[in-house]
Structure 1
Amino acid sequence: MSVGIPDFSWAIGSTDDLGLLVEAVAAWREGMPLDELRQRFEFLELDEFADALDRGEPTSSQ
């Protein structure tokens, strides 16, 4: 699984379970907070840059 913004993308996790991947994407689209996503979908590798993007401050972690 990867996330992309214009001119930049990065991997945030992987799983062999397609159903789990679909659940993670659906939960994210429904607005589940990153902390809850981390707990529920352990395959996700959400780092401090993901947190900064979520807060709308991506340059704070660069």
Structure 2
Amino acid sequence: MTFYVVAGRSTRTNDSLVEALRALGLDADRVEPLALKERALPGDVALGRLDVLPTLDGVEPG
């Protein structure tokens, strides 16, 4: 089983989530949304993340 953090870009939070999951002994990786379809297998877990816009007035599309 792989735990995927699904996010459009690498951020400190997304990278920290992956590191924390790996520290727990889980197979974890960050993947972009369009690439998930090619990588995920039955039994894998996907956590979708939307980030705040740099302007702080909304969230990224998704």
TM-score by length of 1: 0.25
- RCO greater where, 1 or 2, for CA within 8 Å and sep 6 or more? 2
Structure number having the greater strand percentage: 2
Structure number having the greater helix percentage: 1
